Structure 1
Amino acid sequence: MKKENVEKAYLLAKELYAELGVNTDEVLQKMKDVNISLHCWQTDDVGGFETADGELSGGIQATGNYPGKATTIEQMRADLEKVLSLLPGKQRLNLHAIYGDFQGEKVDRDEIEVKHFQSWIDWCKAQGIGMDFNATCFSHDRAADGFTLSSKNEENRRFWVEHVKRCRAISAEAGKQLGTPCVHNTWIPDGSKDVPVDRNGHRVLLKKSLDEAMAIDYPKEHMKDAVESKLFGIGVESMTVGSHDFYLGYAIKNNKLICLDNGHFHPTEQVGDKISACLQFLDEVLLHVTRPIRWDSDHVVTLNEDVQLIASEIVRNNFLSRVNIGLDFFDASINRIGAYVVGTRAAQKAFMIAMLEPTSKLIQYEEAGHNFERLALLEELKTKPFGAVWDYYCLQEGVAVGEDYIAEIQQYEKEFLEKR
């Protein structure tokens, strides 16, 4: 896209938004506060580096076999660097415990240490970005019966408690070295395929395990704990131990972050509506932004109404400093780098659109009972030249403007992905 056309379009858009009382230059500055944590598992279909084949199970499934999957740490980092080069702003890395730099050594999950992730910390430092982390409580022999932290098999339960303990220690060290808090997220697949009798027993054990795993308090400037709920999972359709009610209660009581994944709720629920509710009682929340179709199918994020509501609620209420933004999707049916860039840019666009809204004027209409005027202005905003502001933002940040990133990704595919 020609630079002069982008600049001309921006100047016109700037004038149009100014008529609504919106300063687009200020919006471009505010976009620097939108830091999105990129989920490393999009590059390799949630495979990890524990085994040679990188095959996982236990309700984690990426569909498709598009060529170019990353199979080594070097390939994954190269892919991530390409993604970062195509995104405006400064992002973060979100790493699962199965992605350790194990150097071919078999290291079970209750034995992982900082040394297995030091090269990742160093990579993040070289990129000038922060790092987030996740315990990997799935796809393991000790999770074969469908239970981890809530297991009635005490040996298995203790194994997973130790895993989470070690993941928290790794997270705290990563945050300390990088100078930005590492959000450690705990999600477990525990549940029952058919109707259980003793739901309470498993939830008692889950609470006990979380208390044990999180007994050490790390400085918040180094690490923040989050717990993630789910409505149900594949193979555990009748009961999920870590439900939204359970984790919200646990988060409030223990001052943890609740992770809101917009694919983990009933299709009629909107995560955007939950943000202001949760932040009445919690200091911060963690978001996993995805695109569910029929349910938690983890499609590539697009600029849709659900994502827009999430962004708008955060921006309207000045919650950016209290919301940690991450993505969670894995599509193996298309170019994985392209999926990454499309999904992340879609989320970024949603936040920019929210920032271009004349919120104070809309609230004035609302509080005066002028609901027609509120609706009309919201509708008119949909056709304002947001794209011109977005293109100019990309130009300022020195990344591909408009659809120009398509050709860059196609070239990267030809040079690297097709040869894997």
Structure 2
Amino acid sequence: MANKEIIAKAYEIAKEQYATLGVDTDAVLKKINEIKISLHCWQTDDVSGSENPDGPLSGGIQATGNYPGKARNVTEVMADLEKVMSMLPGKQRVNVHALYGDFSKGKVDRDRISVKQFQGWIDWCKKQDIGMDFNGSFFSHPKAGSGFTLSSKNEEIRKFWVEHLKRSREIAAEVGKQLGSPCILNTWIPDGSKDTPVDRNGMRSLLTKSLDEGMAQKFPKEHMKDAVESKVFGIGAESMTVGSHDYYLGYAIKNNKLICLDNGHFHPTEVVGDKISSCLQFVDEVLLHVTRPVRWDSDHVVTLNEEVQLIASEIVRNDFINRVNIGLDFFDASINRIGAYVIGTRATQKAFMIAMLEPTSTLVRFEENNQNFERLALLEELKTKPFGAVWDYYCLQEGVPIGEDYITEIQSYENEVLSRR
């Protein structure tokens, strides 16, 4: 167990060191709680959902591994999320997919879902005093079997998914209204072609038509905000993805929507951190899906790496916190799922704290004076500053496990709860 007295002393030393750089660590400890991370409910059960929990995943969705103890129903999903949040400093949010509704009174197809199936989630969020985000589920469904949903040339299928989009937006608006916090409604579809297509334009024209129809109804922004998410390719859609980055960026700009940037949805040499300031020149807000692509969009558990650090730094350096909505999107079925959440969320939080501990004004002055040696030297020296002491003190203040203490707490939860499922 962490020694609280030692942690407090270490913080005072770190505070003095950062002060010599002009950084107020006490102010950072207050500002860091402005970062709200939306926890994706689908890490609890490998994207199975409550609609058809034993059904196969499809539409480019794949979770690998079969670690014991995954959530089997919405009640267990909520319990696991509560456990996760108890080990995270600050208040976060939850992100729910449409296939995680309450279908205990009978199955409701996706073109007929309503707030009734998600009132339990809203009530749970009220108890947790957190906000909630929402996603339409355009995969793992018979009417997505062809590989096309909103861009389908089968009018019956296209209309089905347009109605699902409409219903999802209505649910999101009611979520935001009841919780008093805007619900981000993200739309991602798996549509694409396994081999080289001919009519790319036809598919994208249909997608535009569907989005326009599905998003025709206006809702107050204090209740819900629309986001659209691009992807380079998916399983079964290797040759062409209808909803490319170019397509959705254009749609978002033209229609004043949020563009969702998932750092696993681009070519391996593209950097999402570099896209944030570009997109925010032309759209009001962006949505982030923070993940860790290994060899591409594999959705590994987030770790504190350079890519995540650049994302956080760009947001903090430019005071974009109020214009960027942060969500997680990874699912690892090969390790303890609660541990995956805690590692990934805390890694993201750490990246933001490191960004807040940066003497940005000094670095910008070096840059503007063409003092590139000094800029690089200071950036390198910052890497060994005692950030960990500030992080541990933050956890101490928030009353959550410090350092590696969360490991034993998760092991206990596994022995007492997960192993009995």
Specify the TM-score bucket, using the shorter chain as the normaliser.
over 0.9
Is the CA contact 1:251–1:258 (under 8 Å) kept in the aligned structure 2? Answer: yes
* RMSD of equivalent CA atoms: 0.6
**Alignment match, 1:168:** 169
Counterparts of residues 156-195 of structure 1 (less than 5 Å): 156-195=157-196
Q: Distance in 1 between matches of 2:315 and 2:97?
A: 26
Q: Distance in 2 between matches of 1:75 and 1:56?
A: 20
Deviation sequence 1:40-97 (CA, Å, 0-9, x none): 0000000001114153222111100000000011111110000000000010000000
**Alignment match, 1:327:** 328
Q: Distance in 1 between matches of 2:42 and 2:288?
A: 16
Amino acid at match of 1:236: A
Q: Distance in 1 between matches of 2:231 and 2:93?
A: 24
Amino acid at match of 2:184: V
**Alignment match, 1:128:** 129
Deviation at 1:414, TM superposition (A): 0.1
**Alignment match, 1:139:** 140
Amino acid at match of 1:195: T
Is the CA contact 1:48–1:54 (under 8 Å) kept in the aligned structure 2? Answer: no
- Answering whether residue 406 of structure 2 is matched by residue 405 of structure 1, we say yes
Deviation at 1:105, TM superposition (A): 1.1
**Alignment match, 2:231:** 230
Q: Distance in 1 between matches of 2:276 and 2:229?
A: 14
**Alignment match, 2:254:** 253
- Residue 58 of structure 1: SS of its match in structure 2? coil
Deviation at 1:373, TM superposition (A): 0.2
**Alignment match, 1:317:** 318
Q: Distance in 1 between matches of 2:282 and 2:19?
A: 36
Q: Distance in 2 between matches of 1:34 and 1:104?
A: 37
Amino acid at match of 1:148: T
Deviation at 1:259, TM superposition (A): 0.0
Counterparts of residues 253-402 of structure 1 (less than 5 Å): 253-402=254-403
Give the fraction of aligned pairs with identical amino acids, expressed as a percent: 77
- Residue 117 of structure 1: SS of its match in structure 2? helix
Deviation sequence 1:90-146 (CA, Å, 0-9, x none): 100000000001115111000101010000000001000000000000111111110
Amino acid at match of 1:101: D
Q: Distance in 1 between matches of 2:315 and 2:176?
A: 24
- How many pairs align? 420
Q: Distance in 1 between matches of 2:310 and 2:30?
A: 21
Amino acid at match of 2:180: G
- Residue 107 of structure 2: SS of its match in structure 1? coil
Structure 1 alignment gaps of length 5 or more = none
Q: Distance in 2 between matches of 1:52 and 1:374?
A: 52
Amino acid at match of 2:340: A
Q: Distance in 2 between matches of 1:231 and 1:59?
A: 12
- Residue 133 of structure 2: SS of its match in structure 1? strand
Amino acid at match of 2:91: K
Q: Distance in 2 between matches of 1:273 and 1:54?
A: 38
Amino acid at match of 2:234: G
TM-score relative to the length of structure 2: 0.99
- Answering whether residue 18 of structure 2 is matched by residue 14 of structure 1, we say no
Q: Distance in 2 between matches of 1:53 and 1:232?
A: 26
Q: Distance in 2 between matches of 1:230 and 1:267?
A: 12
- Residue 94 of structure 2: SS of its match in structure 1? strand
Q: Distance in 1 between matches of 2:147 and 2:136?
A: 16
Q: Distance in 2 between matches of 1:372 and 1:52?
A: 56
- Residue 269 of structure 1: SS of its match in structure 2? coil
Deviation sequence 1:1-33 (CA, Å, 0-9, x none): 011011010000000000000000000011111
User: Which stretches of structure 1, 4 residues or longer, exceed 4 Å deviation after superposition?
Assistant: none
**Alignment match, 1:219:** 220
Amino acid at match of 2:203: H
Q: Distance in 2 between matches of 1:74 and 1:278?
A: 38
- Residue 228 of structure 2: SS of its match in structure 1? strand
Q: Distance in 2 between matches of 1:110 and 1:65?
A: 31
**Which of 102-111 and 114-123 deviates more?**
102-111
Deviation sequence 1:194-226 (CA, Å, 0-9, x none): 000000000000000000000011000000000
**Alignment match, 2:416:** 415
**Alignment match, 1:32:** 33
- Residue 232 of structure 2: SS of its match in structure 1? coil
Deviation at 1:174, TM superposition (A): 0.2
Q: Distance in 1 between matches of 2:44 and 2:199?
A: 39
Amino acid at match of 2:397: Q
Deviation sequence 1:132-183 (CA, Å, 0-9, x none): 0000001111111100000000000000000000000000000000000000
Is the CA contact 1:149–1:161 (under 8 Å) kept in the aligned structure 2? Answer: yes
Amino acid at match of 1:330: F
- Residue 275 of structure 1: SS of its match in structure 2? helix
Amino acid at match of 1:87: L
- Residue 325 of structure 2: SS of its match in structure 1? strand
Is the CA contact 1:88–1:394 (under 8 Å) kept in the aligned structure 2? Answer: yes
- Residue 178 of structure 2: SS of its match in structure 1? helix
- Answering whether residue 154 of structure 2 is matched by residue 153 of structure 1, we say yes
Amino acid at match of 1:259: C
Counterparts of residues 70-85 of structure 1 (less than 5 Å): 70-85=71-86
Q: Distance in 1 between matches of 2:105 and 2:63?
A: 24
Q: Distance in 2 between matches of 1:52 and 1:176?
A: 29
Amino acid at match of 2:413: Y
Amino acid at match of 2:297: D
Q: Distance in 2 between matches of 1:40 and 1:104?
A: 21
Q: Distance in 1 between matches of 2:56 and 2:123?
A: 27
Q: 1:211 and 1:407, CA in 2 relative to 1: closer, same or farther beyond 3 A?
A: same
Is the CA contact 1:315–1:354 (under 8 Å) kept in the aligned structure 2? Answer: yes
- Residue 389 of structure 2: SS of its match in structure 1? helix
TM-score relative to the length of structure 1: 0.99
